[in-house]
Amino acid sequence: MSFDVAAAAEVLRGGGLVLIPTETVYGLGADAANPSAIAAIFEAKGRPRFNPLIAHVTGLAAAQRFAAFDARAVRMAEAFWPGPLTIVAPIHDEAAVCDLARAGLDTVAVRAPAHPLAQALLEAFGGPVCAPSANRSGRPSPTTLQDALDETGGAVRAALDGGACAVGVESTVIALLDGPPRLLRLGGLDRQVIEAVIGPLADAGEDAQRSPGRLLRHYAPQAPLRLNAAAPQAGEAWLGFGDGVAAPLSLSPSGDVREAAQRLFSCLRAADRLNPRGIAVAPVPEIGLGEAVNDRLRRAAGFVG
């Protein structure tokens, strides 16, 4: 196993898989143009083939080589890249991001990650890299290299250690196709911040079927989750919020939604390791990144799809 950028780029060129730190979560990366490398991602994750991947690039110019960005998409990329925003746009070079990676759609999801190691790897590789979160399908996303190695480490020939992810939940996914901008997935960039640049976001609507990731039970630990709990019951692990107690599993002792997003997946994993009867989670306010935290918690609890 290699742990440096040049070797990781070489692994990508050879059709192998790499664990990549990003500011959101760790990704399981492969050459976007190589169908057998992309097939290995689906296999390692146990991911359904109808769920398309995100192509990662260094920035706007690299994205425009294969994605048709309209004026709105350009404005969004200029405002928020590199960062936790994924843009879905029509594809114009279908070979650059292979059919399997797009699940046969005529659109492509693109994002420029902000993590310096992700940027260095993309630069060294020189083309788009598809990378879903590095968990096995349906499990919480990894936010440290160790968690990523525990999930899919057996499938990779290189791994980069970028420390704990600063954002902690996946990127926000916006579709910029015909019609108004649509929010396909809540995530690391607040809805309000996006709307300040591009105006009101429509719900996913018919585009929901274009983002099949939304439809699955996802992010789930082993133990059942009980949300909006006032206190833990006997045998339950407790994920507190804003209770002023620096308990090891508190999402944020001070009640900061950003910190709760950053700690969410590692707290779910840590709670699971206690082998509890269940995991009780305190209410998290639906403001800023709290929206994405609650979205992930509802899916992890099995309330969506």
Candidates 34, 58, 119, 133: give the one binding Mg ion (CB under 5 A): 133
Candidates 32, 54, 194, 292: give the one binding ligand TXA (CB under 6 A): 54
Which sign does the torsion angle of CA 112, 117, 119, 121 carry?
Answer: negative
User: In what helix (H) or strand (E) does residue 123 lie, and over which residues does it extend?
Assistant: helix 116-125
Residue 165: helix, strand or coil by DSSP?
coil
Contact of residue 25 among ligand TXA, Mg ion, none (CB under 5-8 Å per partner type): ligand TXA
Token digits of residue 45? 């994750």
Report yes or no: 276 and 226 within 8 Å, Cβ to Cβ: no
The distance of closest approach from Cβ of residue 243 to ligand TXA in the complex, given in angstroms and rounded to an integer, is 29
Closest to ligand TXA by CB, 102 or 263: 102
Tell me the C-alpha distance between 232 and 135, whole Å.
27
Closest to ligand TXA by CB, 172 or 250: 172
Residue 190: helix, strand or coil by DSSP?
coil
Is 148 a residue that touches ligand TXA (CB under 6 A)?
no
* Order of all β-strands in the sheet with 225-226: 225-226, 278-281, 236-239
* Orientation angle between helical segments 116-125 and 5-13, nearest 10 degrees: 50
Is 107 a residue that touches ligand TXA (CB under 6 A)?
yes
Contact of residue 221 among Mg ion, ligand TXA, none (CB under 5-8 Å per partner type): none
Is 86 a residue that touches ligand TXA (CB under 6 A)?
yes
Closest to Mg ion by CB, 115 or 236: 115
Q: What residue ranges in 75-227 does DSSP mark as E strands? A: 85-90, 107-111, 129-130, 158-159, 172-175, 182-185, 225-226
Which sign does the torsion angle of CA 68, 72, 74, 79 carry?
Answer: negative
Candidates 34, 119, 143, 211: give the one binding ligand TXA (CB under 6 A): 211
Candidates 142, 168, 181, 213: give the one binding ligand TXA (CB under 6 A): 213
Closest to Mg ion by CB, 28 or 175: 28
The distance of closest approach from Cβ of residue 156 to ligand TXA in the complex, given in angstroms and rounded to an integer, is 14
Cα distance from N-terminal residue to C-terminal residue, the chain: 37
Token digits of residue 61? 């110019």
Is 212 a residue that touches ligand TXA (CB under 6 A)?
yes
The distance of closest approach from Cβ of residue 219 to Mg ion in the complex, given in angstroms and rounded to an integer, is 8
Is 184 a residue that touches ligand TXA (CB under 6 A)?
yes
Contact mark string toward ligand TXA, 283..302, x via CB under 6 A: --------------------
Cβ-closest position to ligand TXA = 213
Strand-pairing partners, residue 85, are 172
3-state helix, strand, coil split of the chain in percent (to 5) is 35, 15, 50
Is 171 a residue that touches ligand TXA (CB under 6 A)?
yes
Closest to Mg ion by CB, 9 or 225: 225
Q: How far is CA 162 from CA 18, 41, 102, 192, in A?
A: 13, 21, 27, 28
Contact residues toward ligand TXA (CB under 6 A) are 22, 24-25, 27, 51-54, 86, 88, 102, 105, 107-109, 111, 113, 131-133, 170-171, 173, 184-185, 210-214
